[in-house]
Structure 1
Amino acid sequence: MKSSLTTRLARTLFFLIVATTATSMFIVEVFVYDVEDTILELELKAEAEYFKGQLREGRFQPVKTAQLEVVFLPDGEAEALLPEYFQSRDLPFSREVEIGQTTLLVVGERMEAPGGKLFLAQNITIMENREALVQLALAGVAGLMLLVGFIVARTGARYLVRPFRKLTREVLDTTPGTPMPQITTDYRDQEFCDIAEAFNRFLSELEHHIEREKTFVKLASHELRTPLAVMSGALNVLEQRQSLSPADQKTLARIRRAMQNMRDDTEVLLELARNEASDADARTLVLQEIIKNTPLCHPSCPVGNSA
């Protein structure tokens, strides 16, 4: 079974909404990750430059707050003095590190004067939790958008196909004959107006063709039956005179059979042209009798001589 235009249009609109929603979600995800990269690449790098200046001026003090930790390890000292997430790092280093339920952005750089390793760690656990909450909210929004998109797609498809359905109903309700009512052309869209006008032109041509056919049937009914009636009357006159030889009587019989066949063919053709054939007009023909009563004649024989 073929799908309807409404279903295809609704499916297409829904797929477009799904693609738009997926693209929007992807852009939001990229933006969220870009925020993390910005913090890592810009804010912590700026903090690192600030503490480098303090180290050069000899005013550096280790920092440890709820969100930020800064540690400097001079050359020659053991890394065991450092927190675990700073140990065994190849410098320069910048990466997101997870310690249990805590997420840190860690930056490590080597200092030449004074010599040593500078590490910074920023706690982004709150932002990570917010990010998970944002992702959950985005998933809910995406589901709501898909539901709304499905409803909009079905409603929009029905609204867009409504004039097409109207045009289809008018075309299906059109019955060939005379006269044939014209379908309406008061559509809002020009394309539907063009289709309606083209169909109306077709109906006009079809109506004219039916009129010509009826005129032809009327003329043919008179012009074909009249000569046959004259020929039948002439044959009756010849038979009533009883002045024909046996050979002429055979020829006359052949002419009468041919005329009768022509009359039957004419009646059939006229009935087909009028489209008036019915069960009451049906007749049973015995093919064997027709073949038996049909005289055989070689193409080279005269018309009056039977084989």
Structure 2
Amino acid sequence: MTRKGSLSKRLFRTMLLIGIVNVVITLVATEFIYEDIEETSLTIGLADERAYFEQRLVGNEVTSWRSALLTAFFVPAGKEDVELPHMFRGKPVPYAAEVDLKDETYLLSIAPTEQVPGVLYLAQDITVLENREDSFQEFGFIMFAVGILAISLILARLGAARIIRPLQNLSSQIRKIRPDSSFKRIPAHYEDEELNEIAGVLNDLLTALDTYVRREKALVSLASHELRTPIAVISGALDVIDQRSPTDPTNRKTLDRIRQATDKMQADVDALLKLAHRSSEQDRTERVDLARCAHRVVAELESSAPEYVGRVKQTAPGDTAILSSDQTLVHMLMRNLIQNALRHTRDFVYIDIHGDRLSISDAGEGLPSHVRARLDGSADDKSVPEDGLGLFIVRLICERLAWTLQVRQSSHGGTHIDIVFRQEQNHPSVQPEQE
């Protein structure tokens, strides 16, 4: 499975990257502009100095001027063999550039003169200026970059949180929607047009789902009436036949089987209709003695199938579990589990009721992998299986009662299934109901 990333983290990283790029561009641009301004300023200054010295050139003699930061040297035409100061040596004519000589930095300007033929050499010592510039670049630029990055970090965090917050609010609104009641609509009052559009689309979907669920509930109610009516007719007809007291043992046996099948059908219909309703708030709870319920289930199975007689071994301590639950659903859950175990083994089936759990084990060949996945909840397919409703209904009943179903073992050595109850349902001090 591909690990999902966080939109908030991606936004934060993107904003921070934009801040870093802005810092780099700003520093490069600042350095370029600073160098250009410095060069332009010094060049203009040297041009003024050149004009000043050219006005004072007289005669045909080598002349030099020196101040704290400026050196001027004039070489008249015909005397090019004169020794030049060290900063001018080896430089062509004309020449203008910044020159680094060991621990010194000079801005040089070398050009021919017009009024008095010759070459005027100018050198401005900018060593102090360059040292201060280097210090500023090493400290000032670093502090500037750190400050801007810190601001970018804070803005990226705040910006990502501000963008994600409406999405989190929308997610919170969606999380509150429950399918067991009328779907509440999502308030579409977001400042962003895109989020309002998403909320509107979700509300349209909820409206369609609400209509579908209402139609489903209506169908379940209709099915309840249509299924119960023929069963009631069959039960009534059996009561009439019982009043006639048929003496033929064969007829009596047949009628008993019809009665058992009718009762089973009635219990199945009641349980299925309970499961079909989406809400569990109206379920009727009562005291359920698991041991007695298991005895009744085994008796029903043995009476309907002689090959099951004597194959179920039940163990339960003296303080057997007494639960506050739905009698119909518990009865159906036990019958499906025990009947499934009996069908898939010729050996004994063991029922153990102890503490907070009901355990059913057999010595069969184990459950198929897809059935085991459906029972332990790892199957992605939630549709009704085509290979039978028994264990599928077991899963639905456990979900409805908030019980935990655990397939502890399922292999060629047999299957062991545990049903763990909710602690608040377990009432060992309550007396069991009378049969």
Tell me how far apart the structure 1 counterparts of residues 119 and 208 of structure 2 sit (CA, whole Å): 95
The answer on 1:175 being equivalent to 2:226 is no
Say what the alpha-carbon RMSD is for the aligned residues. Answer: 4.1
DSSP-derived class of the 2:72 partner: strand
**TM-score, normalization: structure 2?**
0.54
Q: By how many angstroms is 1:220 displaced?
A: 0.3
What residue is the counterpart of 2:110 in the other structure? 108
Note if 1:285 corresponds to 2:339.
Answer: yes
* Larger mean Cα displacement after TM superposition, 1-10 or 45-54: 45-54
For 1:82 and 1:68, locate their aligned partners in 2 and report how far apart those are by CA, in whole Å.
15
Task: Give the TM-score normalised by the residue count of structure 1.
Answer: 0.74
Cα distance in 2 for residues equivalent to 1:3 and 1:35: 47
Correspondence for 2:196: 193
Asked if the contact 1:73/1:79 (under 8 Å) is kept, the reply is: no
* Distance of 1:4 and 1:286 partners within structure 2: 46
**Correspondence for 1:130 among 129, 132, 150:** 132
Instruction: Verify: 1:93 aligned to 2:95, yes or no.
Output: yes
Partner SS for 2:189: coil
Larger Rg: 1
Give the secondary-structure state (helix, strand or coil) at the position aligned to 1:17.
Answer: helix
Cα distance between partner residues in 2 of 1:59 and 1:279: 123
Alpha-carbon separation, structure 2, partners of 1:279 and 1:112: 117
Structure 1: tracts of 5 or more residues without a match: 291-307
Partners in 2 of 1:113 and 1:137 — Cα distance? Answer: 46
Residues 1:289 and 1:131: Cα distance change in structure 2 (over 3 Å)? closer
Whole-Å Cα distance in 2 between the matches of residues 241 and 36 of structure 1? 123
Deviations 1:191-210, CA, capped at 9 Å, x for gaps: 33333333333333323322
Alignment equivalent of 2:154, drawn from 144, 147, 151: 151
Q: Rate the CA distance shift 1:30–1:289 in 2: closer, same or farther, 3 A.
A: closer
Describe the SS at the equivalent of 2:205.
helix
Gaps of 5+ in 2: 281-327, 345-435
On the 8 A contact 1:228/1:263 being kept in 2, the answer is yes
CA distance in 2, matches of 1:2, 1:199: 23
Q: What is the total number of aligned residue pairs between the two structures?
A: 290
The sequence identity of aligned pairs, in percent, is 33
**Cα deviation code 1:173-218 (max 9, x no counterpart):** 2222223333333333333333333333333332332222221111
Is the contact between residue 103 and residue 128 of structure 1 (CA under 8 Å) also seen in structure 2?
yes
Partner of 2:432: none
- Residue 233 to residue 132, structure 1, CA distance change in 2 (3 Å): same
When residues 289 and 259 of structure 1 are mapped into structure 2, their CA distance, relative to the original with a 3 A threshold, is: farther
- Structure number with higher helix proportion: 1
Task: Name the one with the larger strand percent.
Answer: 2
Deviation string 1:47-97 (CA, Å, 9 cap, x unpaired) is 446655655887995322222222122355465621111112222222211
Structure 2 distance, partners of 1:216, 1:116, is 113
